[in-house]
Amino acid sequence: MTEHIDALLTLGSNIEPERHMPAAVRALRRSPRIVVQRVSPLYWTPPVGTGDDRPFLNGAARITTTMGIRELRDELRRIEEACGRVRSDDKYAPRTIDIDIAYYGDLVLDEGGITVPDPGVAEHAHLAVPLADIAPEWVDPKNGLTIRDLVLKLPAVEREFHIMTAQPLIPLETGGRYAVELEAVGDEVYSPRYESLVRSMLLEIGEDPDREGLARTPLRVAKAMDFLTSGYTTTLEEVVNEAIFEEAFEEMVVVKDIEFYSMCEHHMLPFFGRAAVGYLPDGKIIGLSKIARIVDLFARRLQVQERLTNQIADALVDVLGPHGVAVVMEGSHFCMMMRGVQKQSSSMVTSAMRGTFNENARSRSEFMEHIKD
């Protein structure tokens, strides 16, 4: 079984930080082997050791990962590069984003360009304070002190400066690949660029985005879209999570009436309905809830129903290697119900048959009999 390691990361930016810090956090969320558990408030701090007078925006993230420490370091550098980071020999040079590993489990390491725990946590408030926000009881394995204790050992004036200048530009609580709390929380900003786009859209249609009913709508839309499109940043391996079991069961397995909600890629309007999934095991079965989660994995993307049906069938073939898979979906599409021909009672049925279900009419007929209303 793959080991999951808890780790703490520090983040900093002084080149367009309001754009690059949220972008870096979203990139962390979307990395297939990183789960972001929590993100700290962000803190403005003066530059250290550089003639550049642009202030830094600093924060921290608590993650769980299946990557080794060197793999994680390489992934963080990939994210930095994607955010426009250009590395130089000057460690104080301005940067779009800097992501460092402050703690990696209880590992103590100082080799190959990787040092954990980061010694700067005991010396600098811009590292220690955000880390204390998300993991105050985390024990530094080198000195036995909690991060809260390390903050208390810092000079009071520096500590108070950082606390007083907290800027909660990223939600305090985030989880998995999308927002846990879908409503607006306090004065949070979830995704500045996306919220700005929604605000522009409201202006475009003639609305007042500052009126009471719409004031927090850009935030809610950003959170909702992150949830509704979470299938892009979740993998089949994550969903299945090793819930495959050896079992000498050879009869048909059918799960029906699985609700699904998706969005049509042509108009970005919802379509929804029910799915029925069946398979003929070949020595392996899958946890019951995982079938519904596989449906959600592909439904939470911009889709067409035909592709969605095929993706679900192919995913089950990939993870189970069964004798056959059958998927039937019936959906109602708002792009046909609310606009265009406006046929409210219409629905669409799609099917995908693999293996025995495609080759054997009796197996296919049995499946169809099982899913009848």
Q: Which residues are catalytic?
A: 264-267, 305, 333, 335
Residues 355 and 323 sit within 8 Å (Cβ to Cβ)? yes
Structure tokens at 331: 């959906």
What's the CA gap between 188 and 199, in Å, rounded? 16
Distance, CA of 349 to chain centre: 31
List the one residue out of 232, 207, 210 whose CA is nearest residue 29.
232
Considering just the CA atoms, what is the radius of gyration of the chain in Å? 25
The b-or-e profile of 150-162 (16+ CB within 10 A means b, else e) is bbeebeeeebebb
Cβ burial, residue 84 (10 Å; 0-12/13-18/19+): middle
What's the CA gap between 69 and 106, in Å, rounded? 12
List the one residue out of 272, 178, 190, 188 whose CA is nearest residue 227.
178
Tokens 């029910």 sit at which residue? 274
What's the CA gap between 72 and 148, in Å, rounded? 25
Structure tokens at 183: 């409503």
Residues 83 and 99 sit within 8 Å (Cβ to Cβ)? no
Q: Which are the contacts of 102, defined by CB distance < 8 A and separation ≥ 6? A: 8, 9, 10, 60, 116, 117, 118, 121, 127, 131
Judged by DSSP in three states, 350 sits in strand
What's the angle, vertex CA 157, arms to CA 154 and CA 158, rounded to 5?
55
Amino acid at residue number 193: R
What pairs with residue 328 in β-bridges? 276, 351
Structure tokens at 329: 């979906």
**Angle separating helix axes 17-30 and 192-204, nearest 10 degrees:** 110
